[in-house]
Protein backbone atom coordinates (compact mmCIF):
# COMPACT_ATOMS: atom_id res chain seq x y z
CA UNK A 1 0.00 0.00 0.00
CA UNK A 2 1.05 3.54 -0.50
CA UNK A 3 2.25 5.88 2.16
CA UNK A 4 0.01 8.70 1.00
CA UNK A 5 -3.04 7.53 -0.92
CA UNK A 6 -3.51 11.08 -2.15
CA UNK A 7 -0.21 11.21 -4.05
CA UNK A 8 -1.57 9.71 -7.31
CA UNK A 9 -4.49 12.15 -7.11
CA UNK A 10 -2.07 15.08 -6.92
CA UNK A 11 -0.10 13.70 -9.86
CA UNK A 12 -3.33 13.41 -11.88
CA UNK A 13 -4.20 16.98 -10.96
CA UNK A 14 -0.73 18.16 -11.99
CA UNK A 15 -1.04 16.23 -15.29
CA UNK A 16 -4.39 17.86 -15.99
CA UNK A 17 -3.14 21.38 -15.19
CA UNK A 18 0.01 20.84 -17.25
CA UNK A 19 -1.98 19.45 -20.21
CA UNK A 20 -4.43 22.33 -20.00
CA UNK A 21 -1.60 24.86 -19.79
CA UNK A 22 0.05 23.37 -22.89
CA UNK A 23 -3.26 23.41 -24.76
CA UNK A 24 -4.02 26.97 -23.67
CA UNK A 25 -0.57 28.24 -24.63
CA UNK A 26 -1.05 26.91 -28.17
CA UNK A 27 -4.71 27.79 -28.53
CA UNK A 28 -5.65 30.60 -26.11
CA UNK A 29 -9.33 30.13 -26.95
CA UNK A 30 -9.20 26.78 -25.10
CA UNK A 31 -9.62 28.84 -21.93
CA UNK A 32 -13.08 30.02 -22.93
CA UNK A 33 -16.11 28.82 -21.00
CA UNK A 34 -17.54 27.35 -24.21
CA UNK A 35 -14.75 24.80 -24.33
CA UNK A 36 -15.17 24.00 -20.65
CA UNK A 37 -18.94 23.70 -21.01
CA UNK A 38 -18.57 21.40 -24.01
CA UNK A 39 -16.00 19.33 -22.15
CA UNK A 40 -18.64 18.63 -19.50
CA UNK A 41 -21.49 18.08 -21.97
CA UNK A 42 -19.60 15.80 -24.35
CA UNK A 43 -18.20 13.62 -21.61
CA UNK A 44 -21.28 13.50 -19.37
CA UNK A 45 -22.29 9.91 -20.17
CA UNK A 46 -18.71 8.67 -19.91
CA UNK A 47 -18.26 10.54 -16.64
CA UNK A 48 -21.35 8.99 -15.08
CA UNK A 49 -20.26 5.51 -16.21
CA UNK A 50 -16.83 6.10 -14.72
CA UNK A 51 -18.37 6.87 -11.30
CA UNK A 52 -19.86 3.38 -11.23
CA UNK A 53 -16.60 1.94 -12.51
CA UNK A 54 -14.73 3.68 -9.66
CA UNK A 55 -16.92 1.89 -7.11
CA UNK A 56 -16.29 -1.45 -8.82
CA UNK A 57 -12.53 -0.97 -9.17
CA UNK A 58 -12.21 0.33 -5.59
CA UNK A 59 -13.75 -2.93 -4.45
CA UNK A 60 -11.16 -4.87 -6.46
CA UNK A 61 -13.49 -5.86 -9.28
CA UNK A 62 -14.04 -4.83 -12.88
CA UNK A 63 -17.20 -4.25 -14.91
CA UNK A 64 -17.04 -4.82 -18.66
CA UNK A 65 -20.79 -4.65 -19.22
CA UNK A 66 -21.35 -0.89 -18.87
CA UNK A 67 -20.89 0.02 -22.55
CA UNK A 68 -23.51 -2.52 -23.57
CA UNK A 69 -25.83 -1.36 -20.81
CA UNK A 70 -25.64 2.20 -22.18
CA UNK A 71 -26.42 0.98 -25.71
CA UNK A 72 -29.28 -1.16 -24.40
CA UNK A 73 -30.66 1.81 -22.43
CA UNK A 74 -30.63 4.04 -25.49
CA UNK A 75 -32.40 1.47 -27.68
CA UNK A 76 -34.84 0.57 -24.90
CA UNK A 77 -35.86 4.20 -24.39
CA UNK A 78 -36.11 4.89 -28.12
CA UNK A 79 -38.21 1.80 -28.80
CA UNK A 80 -40.50 2.27 -25.80
CA UNK A 81 -41.09 5.95 -26.62
CA UNK A 82 -41.78 5.07 -30.26
CA UNK A 83 -44.14 2.17 -29.66
CA UNK A 84 -46.01 3.24 -26.52
CA UNK A 85 -47.32 6.50 -25.24
CA UNK A 86 -45.86 6.38 -21.73
CA UNK A 87 -44.10 9.44 -20.41
CA UNK A 88 -40.28 9.50 -20.67
CA UNK A 89 -39.98 9.90 -16.89
CA UNK A 90 -41.84 6.60 -16.39
CA UNK A 91 -39.60 5.02 -19.02
CA UNK A 92 -36.54 6.35 -17.17
CA UNK A 93 -37.73 4.82 -13.91
CA UNK A 94 -38.47 1.52 -15.66
CA UNK A 95 -35.03 1.49 -17.27
CA UNK A 96 -33.21 2.31 -14.03
CA UNK A 97 -35.13 -0.52 -12.38
CA UNK A 98 -33.98 -2.94 -15.09
CA UNK A 99 -30.33 -1.87 -15.03
CA UNK A 100 -30.11 -1.88 -11.23
CA UNK A 101 -31.63 -5.36 -11.17
CA UNK A 102 -29.18 -6.43 -13.88
CA UNK A 103 -26.24 -5.08 -11.86
CA UNK A 104 -27.50 -6.78 -8.72
CA UNK A 105 -27.81 -10.07 -10.61
CA UNK A 106 -24.21 -9.71 -11.84
CA UNK A 107 -23.07 -8.96 -8.29
CA UNK A 108 -24.93 -12.00 -6.94
CA UNK A 109 -23.35 -14.30 -9.53
CA UNK A 110 -19.90 -12.93 -8.70
CA UNK A 111 -20.41 -13.36 -4.99
CA UNK A 112 -22.37 -16.58 -4.68
CA UNK A 113 -20.73 -18.50 -7.53
CA UNK A 114 -17.25 -17.16 -6.66
CA UNK A 115 -16.47 -16.41 -10.28
CA UNK A 116 -14.02 -13.71 -11.42
CA UNK A 117 -15.90 -10.42 -12.07
CA UNK A 118 -14.14 -10.17 -15.41
CA UNK A 119 -15.84 -13.17 -17.01
CA UNK A 120 -19.23 -12.64 -15.38
CA UNK A 121 -19.45 -9.05 -16.60
CA UNK A 122 -18.22 -10.24 -19.99
CA UNK A 123 -21.27 -12.49 -20.19
CA UNK A 124 -23.37 -9.51 -19.08
CA UNK A 125 -21.80 -7.46 -21.85
CA UNK A 126 -22.81 -10.02 -24.50
CA UNK A 127 -26.29 -10.31 -23.01
CA UNK A 128 -27.06 -6.58 -22.93
CA UNK A 129 -25.59 -5.93 -26.38
CA UNK A 130 -27.56 -8.88 -27.70
CA UNK A 131 -30.79 -7.63 -26.11
CA UNK A 132 -30.16 -4.23 -27.69
CA UNK A 133 -29.80 -5.93 -31.10
CA UNK A 134 -32.97 -7.91 -30.50
CA UNK A 135 -34.92 -4.72 -29.69
CA UNK A 136 -33.72 -3.00 -32.84
CA UNK A 137 -30.74 -3.11 -35.16
CA UNK A 138 -31.56 0.29 -36.63
CA UNK A 139 -30.82 3.67 -35.17
CA UNK A 140 -34.16 4.70 -33.68
CA UNK A 141 -34.71 8.47 -33.40
CA UNK A 142 -36.36 9.88 -30.28
CA UNK A 143 -38.86 12.62 -31.03
CA UNK A 144 -40.64 13.50 -27.82
CA UNK A 145 -41.31 17.05 -26.71
CA UNK A 146 -40.09 16.17 -23.23
CA UNK A 147 -36.65 15.42 -24.74
CA UNK A 148 -36.66 18.83 -26.40
CA UNK A 149 -37.44 20.37 -23.00
CA UNK A 150 -34.57 18.48 -21.38
CA UNK A 151 -32.16 19.47 -24.13
CA UNK A 152 -33.27 23.08 -23.81
CA UNK A 153 -32.27 23.38 -20.16
CA UNK A 154 -28.94 25.14 -19.77
CA UNK A 155 -27.23 27.85 -17.83
CA UNK A 156 -25.50 30.36 -20.04
CA UNK A 157 -22.25 31.70 -18.65
CA UNK A 158 -21.58 35.42 -19.24
CA UNK A 159 -18.93 34.66 -21.88
CA UNK A 160 -21.15 32.37 -23.92
CA UNK A 161 -20.54 28.84 -22.61
CA UNK A 162 -23.70 26.78 -22.21
CA UNK A 163 -23.65 24.46 -19.23
CA UNK A 164 -26.29 21.91 -20.11
CA UNK A 165 -28.44 19.71 -17.90
CA UNK A 166 -26.53 16.50 -18.62
CA UNK A 167 -23.23 18.04 -17.51
CA UNK A 168 -24.98 19.04 -14.30
CA UNK A 169 -26.24 15.49 -13.77
CA UNK A 170 -22.68 14.24 -14.12
CA UNK A 171 -21.35 16.70 -11.51
CA UNK A 172 -24.21 15.76 -9.19
CA UNK A 173 -23.25 12.09 -9.58
CA UNK A 174 -19.68 12.86 -8.54
CA UNK A 175 -20.78 14.86 -5.48
CA UNK A 176 -23.16 12.12 -4.33
CA UNK A 177 -20.53 9.43 -4.98
CA UNK A 178 -17.98 11.33 -2.88
CA UNK A 179 -20.45 11.61 0.00
CA UNK A 180 -21.35 7.92 -0.25
CA UNK A 181 -17.74 6.76 -0.42
CA UNK A 182 -16.35 8.94 2.35
CA UNK A 183 -19.29 9.62 4.64
CA UNK A 184 -21.24 6.36 4.80
CA UNK A 185 -20.57 2.91 6.16
CA UNK A 186 -21.24 1.43 2.73
CA UNK A 187 -18.44 3.55 1.29
CA UNK A 188 -16.01 2.38 3.94
CA UNK A 189 -17.06 -1.20 3.25
CA UNK A 190 -16.21 -0.69 -0.44
CA UNK A 191 -12.68 0.40 0.47
CA UNK A 192 -12.34 -2.43 2.99
CA UNK A 193 -13.43 -5.02 0.44
CA UNK A 194 -10.92 -3.73 -2.10
CA UNK A 195 -8.10 -3.54 0.42
CA UNK A 196 -8.39 -7.19 1.37
CA UNK A 197 -11.53 -9.26 1.05
CA UNK A 198 -10.47 -11.79 3.69
CA UNK A 199 -9.68 -9.09 6.25
CA UNK A 200 -12.91 -7.31 5.45
CA UNK A 201 -14.87 -10.50 6.10
CA UNK A 202 -13.12 -11.00 9.43
CA UNK A 203 -13.85 -7.38 10.35
CA UNK A 204 -17.53 -8.07 9.86
CA UNK A 205 -18.07 -6.30 6.57
CA UNK A 206 -21.22 -7.75 4.95
CA UNK A 207 -19.46 -9.03 1.82
CA UNK A 208 -22.58 -10.24 0.01
CA UNK A 209 -24.56 -7.06 0.51
CA UNK A 210 -21.61 -4.83 -0.37
CA UNK A 211 -20.66 -6.74 -3.53
CA UNK A 212 -24.22 -6.84 -4.82
CA UNK A 213 -24.66 -3.17 -3.91
CA UNK A 214 -21.54 -2.14 -5.78
CA UNK A 215 -22.53 -3.86 -9.02
CA UNK A 216 -26.10 -2.61 -8.66
CA UNK A 217 -24.72 0.94 -8.39
CA UNK A 218 -22.52 0.38 -11.45
CA UNK A 219 -25.49 -1.01 -13.38
CA UNK A 220 -27.79 1.81 -12.28
CA UNK A 221 -25.24 4.49 -13.15
CA UNK A 222 -24.68 2.86 -16.55
CA UNK A 223 -28.46 3.06 -17.02
CA UNK A 224 -28.38 6.74 -16.02
CA UNK A 225 -25.49 7.23 -18.46
CA UNK A 226 -27.70 5.59 -21.10
CA UNK A 227 -30.47 8.11 -20.36
CA UNK A 228 -27.97 10.96 -20.60
CA UNK A 229 -26.58 9.52 -23.83
CA UNK A 230 -30.06 9.32 -25.34
CA UNK A 231 -30.68 12.96 -24.38
CA UNK A 232 -27.27 13.85 -25.88
CA UNK A 233 -27.87 12.06 -29.20
CA UNK A 234 -31.71 12.00 -29.39
CA UNK A 235 -31.52 8.43 -30.63
CA UNK A 236 -30.99 4.85 -29.60
CA UNK A 237 -28.59 2.68 -31.57
CA UNK A 238 -27.51 -0.82 -30.62
CA UNK A 239 -24.03 -0.39 -32.09
CA UNK A 240 -23.24 2.80 -30.16
CA UNK A 241 -20.88 3.12 -27.19
CA UNK A 242 -18.74 0.12 -28.11
CA UNK A 243 -15.66 0.14 -25.91
CA UNK A 244 -16.95 2.72 -23.44
CA UNK A 245 -16.12 0.32 -20.59
CA UNK A 246 -12.46 0.58 -21.58
CA UNK A 247 -12.61 4.37 -21.66
CA UNK A 248 -14.21 4.32 -18.23
CA UNK A 249 -11.55 1.97 -16.85
CA UNK A 250 -8.85 4.16 -18.40
CA UNK A 251 -10.35 7.26 -16.78
CA UNK A 252 -10.41 5.55 -13.38
CA UNK A 253 -6.77 4.43 -13.70
CA UNK A 254 -5.58 7.81 -14.97
CA UNK A 255 -7.47 9.24 -11.99
CA UNK A 256 -5.05 7.42 -9.71
CA UNK A 257 -7.26 4.63 -8.41
CA UNK A 258 -5.33 1.48 -7.63
CA UNK A 259 -6.47 -1.31 -9.96
CA UNK A 260 -6.08 -3.88 -7.22
CA UNK A 261 -8.67 -1.93 -5.26
CA UNK A 262 -8.79 -0.28 -1.89
CA UNK A 263 -7.17 3.03 -2.75
CA UNK A 264 -8.40 5.91 -4.88
CA UNK A 265 -10.82 8.80 -5.14
CA UNK A 266 -13.84 9.67 -7.25
CA UNK A 267 -12.37 13.14 -7.70
CA UNK A 268 -9.43 11.54 -9.48
CA UNK A 269 -11.80 9.81 -11.89
CA UNK A 270 -13.37 13.20 -12.64
CA UNK A 271 -9.93 14.58 -13.48
CA UNK A 272 -9.26 11.46 -15.59
CA UNK A 273 -12.41 12.15 -17.61
CA UNK A 274 -11.38 15.78 -18.07
CA UNK A 275 -7.88 14.74 -19.24
CA UNK A 276 -9.34 12.36 -21.81
CA UNK A 277 -11.82 15.01 -22.95
CA UNK A 278 -8.98 17.50 -23.20
CA UNK A 279 -7.01 15.20 -25.52
CA UNK A 280 -10.01 14.95 -27.83
CA UNK A 281 -10.58 18.70 -27.73
CA UNK A 282 -6.92 19.31 -28.55
CA UNK A 283 -7.15 17.01 -31.57
CA UNK A 284 -10.25 18.87 -32.75
CA UNK A 285 -8.50 22.22 -32.29
CA UNK A 286 -5.39 21.02 -34.11
CA UNK A 287 -7.37 19.78 -37.07
CA UNK A 288 -4.48 17.91 -38.73
CA UNK A 289 -4.11 15.09 -36.22
CA UNK A 290 -6.25 12.03 -36.80
CA UNK A 291 -8.70 10.83 -34.19
CA UNK A 292 -6.80 7.56 -33.73
CA UNK A 293 -4.14 9.52 -31.86
CA UNK A 294 -6.69 9.74 -29.05
CA UNK A 295 -6.44 5.99 -28.55
CA UNK A 296 -2.66 5.97 -28.65
CA UNK A 297 -2.34 8.85 -26.19
CA UNK A 298 -4.90 7.31 -23.82
CA UNK A 299 -3.07 3.99 -24.07
CA UNK A 300 0.19 5.77 -23.26
CA UNK A 301 -1.32 7.60 -20.30
CA UNK A 302 -2.81 4.35 -19.05
CA UNK A 303 0.61 2.74 -19.22
CA UNK A 304 2.27 5.70 -17.49
CA UNK A 305 -0.16 5.64 -14.58
CA UNK A 306 0.04 1.88 -14.14
CA UNK A 307 3.83 2.19 -13.98
CA UNK A 308 3.48 5.08 -11.55
CA UNK A 309 1.32 2.96 -9.25
CA UNK A 310 3.85 0.14 -9.44
CA UNK A 311 6.73 2.50 -8.69
CA UNK A 312 4.93 4.07 -5.72
CA UNK A 313 3.96 0.69 -4.36
CA UNK A 314 7.50 -0.59 -4.73
CA UNK A 315 9.09 2.51 -3.24
CA UNK A 316 6.92 2.40 -0.15
CA UNK A 317 7.05 -1.33 0.55
CA UNK A 318 10.80 -1.81 0.31
CA UNK A 319 11.52 0.94 2.81
CA UNK A 320 9.22 -0.60 5.36
CA UNK A 321 10.70 -2.50 8.26
CA UNK A 322 10.19 -6.27 8.17
CA UNK A 323 8.05 -6.40 11.28
CA UNK A 324 5.65 -3.82 9.90
CA UNK A 325 5.60 -5.53 6.56
CA UNK A 326 4.60 -8.76 8.21
CA UNK A 327 1.79 -7.01 9.99
CA UNK A 328 0.41 -5.15 6.99
CA UNK A 329 0.59 -7.89 4.36
CA UNK A 330 -1.79 -10.72 4.75
Partner 1 sequence: MIGSTLRRVTPQLLILGVVLLMNLAVFPGFFTIEFQNGRLFGNLIDVLNRGAPVALLSIGMTLVIATKGIDLSVGAVMAIAGAVAASVVTGGAGWFTALLAALAAGLLCGLWNGILVAIFRVQPIVATLVLMVAGRGIAQLITEGKIMTFLNEGLIHLGAGTVAGVPTPILIWLAMGTLVTLIVRHTALGMLIESIGVNETASRLAGINSRVLLVTVYLVSGFCAALAGVIVAADIKGADANNAGLWMELDAILAVVIGGNSLLGGRFSIVASLLGALIIQSVNSVILLSGMPPEFNLVIKALIIIVILVIQSPTVKHALYLLRASAGSAVPDAKEMGRNAPSAKETRP
- Interaction site with partner 1 (CB under 8 A): 60, 62, 109, 112-120, 122-127, 129-131, 133-134, 137, 197, 246, 249-250, 253, 259-260, 290, 292-296, 298-300, 302-303, 306-307, 310
Closest approach, Cβ 325 to partner 1, in A, equals 12
Length of the chain: 330
Closest approach, Cβ 109 to partner 1, in A, equals 7
Q: Which is nearer to partner 1, 93 or 296 (CB)?
A: 296
Q: Which is nearer to partner 1, 114 or 145 (CB)?
A: 114
Closest approach, Cβ 131 to partner 1, in A, equals 6
State CA 243 to chain mean position distance: 12
Closest approach, Cβ 128 to partner 1, in A, equals 8
Q: Which is nearer to partner 1, 249 or 278 (CB)?
A: 249
Closest approach, Cβ 272 to partner 1, in A, equals 13
Closest approach, Cβ 176 to partner 1, in A, equals 27
Q: Which is nearer to partner 1, 89 or 113 (CB)?
A: 113
Q: Which is nearer to partner 1, 86 or 307 (CB)?
A: 307
Among residues 51, 275, 261, the alpha carbon closest in space to that of 175 is found at: 51
Q: Which is nearer to partner 1, 124 or 161 (CB)?
A: 124
Closest approach, Cβ 281 to partner 1, in A, equals 18
Task: Using alpha carbons, list the distances in angstroms from residue 174 to 47, 158, 245, 259.
Answer: 9, 25, 18, 19
Rg over CA atoms, the chain: 20
DSSP one-letter code for 139: P
Among residues 247, 241, 239, the alpha carbon closest in space to that of 295 is found at: 247
Q: Which is nearer to partner 1, 14 or 115 (CB)?
A: 115
Close Cβ partners of 60 (under 8 Å, ≥ 6 residues apart): 193, 194, 197, 260, 261, 262
Among residues 33, 32, 68, 36, the alpha carbon closest in space to that of 49 is found at: 68
Amino acid sequence: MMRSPRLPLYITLATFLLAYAICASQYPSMLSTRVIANLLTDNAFLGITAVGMTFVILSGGIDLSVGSVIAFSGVFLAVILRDTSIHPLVAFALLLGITIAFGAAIGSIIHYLEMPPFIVTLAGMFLMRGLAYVLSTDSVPITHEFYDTLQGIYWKAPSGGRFRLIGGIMILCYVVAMLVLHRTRFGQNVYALGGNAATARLMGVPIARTTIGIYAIAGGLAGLAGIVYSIYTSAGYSLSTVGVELDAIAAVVIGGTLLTGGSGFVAGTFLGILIMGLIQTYIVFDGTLSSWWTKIVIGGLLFAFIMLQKALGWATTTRRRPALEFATRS
